[in-house]
Amino acid sequence: MSKNIVVKKNNGGTIAQNKRARHDYFIEEKFEAGLALQGWEVKSLRAGRMTITESYIIFKNNEAFLFGSQIQPLLSASTHVVPEATRTRKLLLSRREIEKLQGAVNQKGYSCVPLACYWKGHLVKIEIALVKGKQLHDKRATEKDRDWQRDKARIMHK
């Protein structure tokens, strides 16, 4: 008698990243939030069809929402569900975290943007950050410092 062996496929964890946020903002504090999704969205996420580069977090009625992200529906999506790619999705955070984020955004001039979306077990999590915008000279200084670190590592390697 032979036994069936089931091998679990590793999806790599990361679904989407917002590399532009690290370039445009100073990251002050990071949070992990759950994402409320529909069934077709989860299937599309398994295929890696999500973009969060132009998205941000809005607060309404003491709740946090991901606005501007896109999840492209699969061609094999169900016929009785009308997929909406740019739907506003609810973020699952504790009340204390929402109040902290909302207070900083409203009073201190911070923004709240997503950094990455990833799998944590069978759940979809999104890493959001409290950020402050960079000026043009700040971006140049960051790029100059990064180039110097790269050159220094290259010199030390020789």
Residue 3 placed within a domain: no
**C-beta of residue 111 within 8 angstroms of C-beta of residue 29:** no
At 32 the pLDDT is 93
What's the distance, CA 21 to chain centroid? 10
Tell me how many domains the chain contains. 1
At 22 the pLDDT is 83
Burial of 69 (0-12, 13-18, 19+ CB in 10 A): buried
What's the distance, CA 138 to chain centroid? 23
- Residue 130 structural domain: 14-157
**C-beta of residue 112 within 8 angstroms of C-beta of residue 127:** no
Per-residue pLDDT of the chain (158 residues; tens, 9 = 90+): 445 544 444 456 888 888 888 888 888 889 999 999 888 888 888 888 888 888 989 999 999 999 988 888 887 766 667 777 788 889 999 999 998 988 888 888 788 999 999 998 888 899 999 988 777 777 888 888 888 899 888 888 87
User: Could you tell me the pTM of the whole model?
Assistant: 0.73
Q: What CATH number is attached to the domain comprising 32? A: 2.40.280.10
Alpha-carbon torsion (32, 34, 35, 41), positive or negative = positive
**C-beta of residue 77 within 8 angstroms of C-beta of residue 41:** no
Which residue matches tokens 């009073």? Answer: 107
Residue 53 placed within a domain: yes
Q: How far apart are CA 148 and CA 129, in angstroms?
A: 27
Residues 6+ apart with CB under 8 A from 25: 111, 113, 129, 131, 132, 133, 134
Residue 1 placed within a domain: no
Residue 105 placed within a domain: yes
At 37 the pLDDT is 87
Residue type, 83: P
At 10 the pLDDT is 47
Residue 90 placed within a domain: yes
At 91 the pLDDT is 92
